[in-house]
Amino acid sequence: MCDDHHGDGTGLGRRALFVTSAAAALTLGSVTFGTSGAEAVDGGQETKTIRGTLPAGSPDFVYLPVEVPGGVRELKVSYTYERPPVPAGTAGNALDIGVFDERGTDLGGKGFRGWSGGARTEFFIRVDEATPGYIPGPVRPGTWHIALGPYTVAPEGLPYEITITLTYGRPATQVKPVYPPERAKGRGRAWYRGDCHLHSWYSDGRRTLAELAALARAAGLDFINSSEHNTHSAHAHWAEHAGPHPDGELLILLGEEVTTRNGHVLALGADPGTFIDWRYRARDNRFGKYARQIRRAGGLVVPAHPHATCIGCNWKFGFGEADAVEVWNGAYSPEDEVALADWDGMLVAAVREGRQDWIPAMGNSDAHRDPDPVGRPQTVVLADDLTREAIQEGLRAGRSYVAESKDISVTFTASGARGEHAGIGERLKVDPDTPVTVRLEATGSAGCAIRFVTDQGVLFTSAEIPASGAGSAQWRTTASYAAYVRAEVRRPPVIPGFPGPMAAFTNPIFLGRR
């Protein structure tokens, strides 16, 4: 083993600043190795260690070029960085990591080979296997780039150390990826339950795919969506957990949580192996391009937890490209209450502008590790069958409601005086002054109250649902008085004068001919 240490003191040392098609990025000096492919001994290794310090105000991404010679069968990278104490209210150091191969670091290019964010301190890549979060495949000669993401930097800077180890020799046989089927055994046109925002050890979660699948079945789910942060590496490992099972078939959709510095978005149900880039901010005016890429790959564009308060989590790209929006994320919180109000405002805007298109709401668990419950909440969608296409069509149309768990079910309808009828996500085509009756039936919601919400606000609140958990409410209105009606099932208030936590809510039923 050859061990070579490079240092650049407390500065950035050898470097070049270049501007990508989006934000500025910093490229450090290249790391070269002394052995050529012809000289390499099978099983031989070379190691080099790079040290440096990133100053406060560093670009979003810093690239370390690595000149990989021929004959390499494994690339291994480990890193550490200092986390000095900082004053209260000041962000400390947090450094993410990933890698791009010899095909380059261009936005949306083919060079992406993996990302683990801050979840791991080391990774490896071989033709037959790779660390979760990374894509197995040949370690071809050329200039690879280790990608550093200084998420936050302390005022005194971020000292780091990166160790790169090359192992030489004949590579193993490349494994062809196998993906889960796009169809599971369903019940025909029916209501199907799903959780489309989950994390495993393929990003920053702590559960295996087998554990997630088992928890999904236990939560009564019919479908889930793979949504690892900034990587599609889990796609090729889901197949064995889908399909026939003693506890029921599970449809596994494939996607990604695209985690930018200005908010996160779910690519929901994209084609297998689809990678969506995340290296841009709202000011770069690039999100539309990647939203369209998600759709071309057959996926839905769903901004996640738009009012989350964690750094970089708040959604700042607008909703013009959204197919749906994640209004409820995990345990119901004030963030979700704000997101619900914001979404309701978007419904009012659609009505005011006379648009037929509107953005449906959904809810997901965003579960990462124990004790995060999978399927709490879950989106219940009316679909023609348990297939990728049918589930996506139901979500896109807004034929869905969000429930806290499998124990809660609702039926929400609107009917006119002449037998007209509409369900969740549909339009009841009646004249402005035609009497309309809306009705909600709920089970599994003892102690909750039912609320009907229109473009004017909350216009009806029921008494508490009895201990049996089964209750219903009915209210009459007209299309001239209410452009839409949506329903909420709320638990008793925790703070007097404020609405209680959500147990379930529906997408709207629109009233009127247009």
pLDDT in tens, 70-101: 999 999 999 999 999 999 999 999 999 999 99
Residue 39 clears pLDDT 70, i.e. is over it: no
> Which of 28, 27, 44 shows the shortest CA–CA distance to 36?
44
Give the pLDDT confidence of 196-230 residue by residue, as tens digits. Answer: 999 999 999 999 999 999 999 999 999 999 999 99
Residue 275 CA to residue 302 CA, distance in Å, equals 16
> Which of 46, 47, 8 shows the shortest CA–CA distance to 29?
8
- Quick one: pLDDT at residue 245? 78
> Which of 158, 150, 155, 148 shows the shortest CA–CA distance to 91?
155
- Quick one: pLDDT at residue 268? 98
Reported as a pLDDT band with limits 50, 70 and 90, residue 37 is low
Structure tokens at 312: 């970089």
Mean pLDDT of 408-436: 97
Give the pLDDT confidence of 120-140 residue by residue, as tens digits. Answer: 999 999 999 999 999 999 999
Torsion of CA 53, 55, 56, 60, to 10 degrees: -80
Q: What are the helix (H) ranges across 226-297?
A: 287-296
Of 24-28, 30-34, 133-137, 459-463, where does mean pLDDT reach its minimum? Answer: 24-28
Residue 4 clears pLDDT 90, i.e. is over it: no
Give the pLDDT confidence of 153-193 residue by residue, as tens digits. Answer: 999 999 999 999 999 999 999 989 999 999 999 999 999 99
Mean pLDDT of 433-458: 97
Residue 208 CA to residue 140 CA, distance in Å, equals 30
| The residue type at 163 | T
Residue 39 CA to residue 367 CA, distance in Å, equals 49
Question: Scanning the structure block, which residue is given the tokens 């709207």?
Answer: 508
Residue 455 clears pLDDT 50, i.e. is over it: yes
- Quick one: pLDDT at residue 42? 83
Of 43-47, 129-133, 454-458, where does mean pLDDT reach its minimum? Answer: 43-47
Give the pLDDT confidence of 331-378 residue by residue, as tens digits. Answer: 999 999 999 999 999 999 999 998 889 999 999 999 999 999 999 999
- Phi and psi at 336, nearest 5°, equal -70, -35
Sign for the pseudo-dihedral over CA of 75, 228, 191, 415: negative
Q: What are the helix (H) ranges across 177-247?
A: 209-218
Residue 3 clears pLDDT 80, i.e. is over it: no
Residue 11 clears pLDDT 60, i.e. is over it: no
Residues 6+ apart with CB under 8 A from 471: 441, 442, 445, 448, 450, 462, 465
Give the pLDDT confidence of 262-306 residue by residue, as tens digits. Answer: 999 999 999 999 999 999 999 999 999 999 999 999 999 999 999
HEC string of 235-251?
HHHCHHHCECCCCCCEE
> Which of 306, 356, 348, 346 shows the shortest CA–CA distance to 326?
306
Instruction: Give the end-to-end CA distance of the chain in Å, rounded to a whole number.
Output: 74
- Quick one: pLDDT at residue 24? 66
- Quick one: pLDDT at residue 12? 42
Residue 101 CA to residue 113 CA, distance in Å, equals 6
- Quick one: pLDDT at residue 9? 35
Residues of the chain above pLDDT 90, percent: 89
Q: What is the mean pLDDT of the chain?
A: 93
Residue 10 clears pLDDT 50, i.e. is over it: no
Residue 80 CA to residue 94 CA, distance in Å, equals 11
Antiparallel, parallel or unpaired: β 223-226 and 190-198:
parallel
3-state class (DSSP) for residue 302: strand
